[in-house]
Chain A
């Protein structure tokens, strides 16, 4: 089919096909390029290798949360607890490694297990108790944050062991470890969502739960796995974040779900499920990263940045809805 189009010589269509094959929306790529160009003009510091690594480093935490958001949202679900679970995980990991004095590896495992456990509870409540995902994960947003404050006594748990520090601050080949872990995670997640049965079933459930059920997919079990995965990824984000700042901070990840969900939606994830790609989400996450980095370089107050992110989320959903309605009219 692609050869037909290529022989017809319509360059725009060729491009569209190749971009679609990569599961990316061309528009979001253009926005990223345009935004970077604007920032480059406005700030002389923007276009430098070290700033590029800065953007990636700042994006790594949000990016991993955005991967989690993509899986859950494209299955027709929602996880509002991402930021809080990330905060809880960092505190649990620090508590295990510092207060309990356990070996580093246990700290690492504790981070991810704490996140997975919170996500698993979300999944159980949603699929067995039939409480809507919106309510369950909103409740978990409060629960996880509160628990993080209880465990840490409201204080930062400072001074992580060396191995955990390395995961946040090490720089093999000059590249920050969080960036490496982020890129590897994103690649693996992309392959899972785009090329495995698990990924296809995720999209199918988000597209039509009845169709998925009729096809013999165990919908509830699949959803439980997705929420657990989402929590585990939030745990990984919590690990990288606390390792970077060398402490378990109970307020880490505050409002991060806002940015993560925005990144996923900008990347072309359908808010109501059925469509989503990790590559697209990565572009969305980079857009958020560039936006924040640029506004930082321009010394814009963080209050305004928060407003900008909220506005971008609404704008992205508006554009998506507008396009969907336009297509369905044809």
Chain B
């Protein structure tokens, strides 16, 4: 049985139909690449999984449970995490406040008043950053003062702190330096080895081909193709993204990139 199973997902914004009935299945410990041209509906599809958007039609099963009616907080509790392209960090708050946002540990003052256990938050945040082999200037500083890579670290730490079953990454390597890209790819492999499923959205097809088990191509709001990564190549993926025809030029350009 699949960990995540989408059937016939439809979503439109006013008169604009973005998703026209998408099917997608992801198994535990599987890394699935989601590729497609701009406007193909990748981000919209992912936001219907996290619950930011509500699908107009279709069903979403997670761990065999229907999650269509759950809000984003409830879906996170079930183990669905997403790392957004814009990272969605609260820039004026510090590291642990971001990691634990919406899930702050509580202690009872005088056995009565529920207050946030900031000390525990700081401790666990520091442990998580260490586990990621990352270095931050200080966990007590607001994350807005960090570099792009450091902010990415905070976003990743936030996604991993609560033992997720599925992590969705939206263009995690788009804004990173070469060495940082490798560490994100290593991280994805590590998640896979721990049995965590990953959906990787990326325009960098080299990254997608390097790290995924399967590649799903989204085109005009439909799942156009479902390719086993080891049986496909850059040419096929590119031609499926743009929709067939003579794709030699585009593909060789991507291969060079």
By a beta-carbon cutoff of 8 Å, the part of chain A in contact with chain B is 1, 191, 195-197, 200-201, 203-204, 207-208, 210-218, 270, 274-275
Contacts and interface: CB of A to CB of B under 8 A. Distances in A.
Interface in B88-125: 88-93, 97-98, 101-104, 106, 113-116, 118
What size tier do the contact residues of chain B reach?
Answer: 20 to 34
B116 A200 contact: yes
B146 interface: no
Nearest to A188: B113
B90 A214 contact: no
A216 B73 contact: yes
Given A212-B102, A216-B76, A196 B116 contact: yes
B52 to A, nearest CB: 7
Contacts of A270: 92
Most buried by A among B76, B89, B92: B92
Contacts of A201: 101-102
Contacts of A210: 84, 86, 88
B140 interface: yes
Contact of B90 (A196, A212, A216, A218): A212
B26 interface: no
Contacts of A275: 92
A208 B90 contact: yes
B110 to A, nearest CB: 12
Contact of A274 (B73, B74, B90, B140): B90
Nearest to A17: B140
Contacts of A195: 115-116, 118
Nearest to A330: B145
B93 A215 contact: no
A6 B104 CA distance: 29
Contact of B138 (A1, A191, A211, A216): A1
Contact of B102 (A1, A196, A208, A216): A216
A214 B89 CA distance: 9
A274 B102 contact: no
Given A191-B115, A197-B104, A197-B116, A214 B92 contact: no
B186 interface: no
A207 B92 contact: yes
B81 to A, nearest CB: 10
A32 to B, nearest CB: 24
B93 A274 contact: yes
Nearest to B101: A215
Contacts of B52: 213-214
Given A195-B115, A196-B114, A197-B106, A213 B90 contact: no
Contacts of B118: 195
A214 B53 CA distance: 11
B50 interface: yes
A196 to B, nearest CB: 6
29 contacts: A1-B140, A191-B115, A195-B118, A196-B115, A200-B116, A203-B90, A203-B92, A203-B93, A204-B97, A207-B90, A207-B91, A208-B88, A210-B88, A211-B90, A211-B101, A212-B90, A213-B52, A213-B72, A214-B88, A215-B72, A216-B77, A216-B102, A216-B103, A217-B101, A218-B71, A270-B92, A274-B91, A274-B93, A275-B92
A211 B88 contact: yes
A216 B73 CA distance: 4
Nearest to A273: B92
Contacts of A213: 52, 72
Contacts of B93: 200, 203-204, 207, 274
Given A1-B138, A203-B92, A204-B93, A214 B116 contact: no
A274 B104 contact: no
B40 interface: no
Contacts of B73: 215-218
B50 A214 contact: yes
B82 interface: yes
A200 B115 CA distance: 10
Contacts of A217: 73, 101-102
Shortest 5 CB-CB contacts between residues of A and residues of B: A216-B73, A215-B102, A207-B90, A274-B92, A215-B101
A66 to B, nearest CB: 21
Contacts of B72: 213-216
Interface string B40-84: 000000000010100000000000000000011111110000101
B104 to A, nearest CB: 5
B32 to A, nearest CB: 21
